Amino acid sequence: MTGNKNFTEEHYRRIIYDKDYRTRLLGNPKNVLCEEFGYPVTDSLKLEIIEQQEDTIVIMIPPKPVNSQNYEEDLERVTQQTLDLLFSTGIGGFFIPDDKQKWILRNMRKTWIKKLGLNLEEL
């Protein structure tokens, strides 16, 4: 059984070293994360997994503002999105663009912790 302190690191190690798991995760992230976390991912939520390449810098940019009448206000809103990154040993992470999705990820993590039989209070 995974220990409370390193369950996330162990998951990232699995992504790195388990070729079949990594391939499945890249191919169908919703199904694999539902299986892994035990949390149902709805069709309305989009998940994108970016496989970092050694020769590539990945830059996340905010969504394009849609209201051209209040462009500055919209630009400020989209550039102040929630940024939630989960790092353990410098590998892996999540970018969450809004508060609603932040809570979905947190619920996913809680479900995963319970599925693993870990104590949430010890994390």
Number of domain units in the chain = 1
Cα 117 from chain centroid?
21
Cα separations in angstroms, 32 against 15, 16, 45, 60, 117: 11, 15, 14, 24, 19
What domain range is 39 assigned to?
A: 4-122
Question: pLDDT, tens digit, for every residue of 11-44?
Answer: 778 888 999 999 999 999 888 888 888 888 888 8
Q: How far apart are CA 76 and CA 36, in angstroms?
A: 36
What tokens were used for 21? 């798991």
72-111 residue pLDDT tens: 777 777 666 655 555 545 556 677 767 777 788 788 878 8
Q: Which residue has the tokens 């590539």?
A: 56
| pTM greater than 0.85 (yes/no) | no
Q: Report the candidate in 97, 82, 99, 110 with the shortest Cα–Cα distance to residue 46.
A: 97
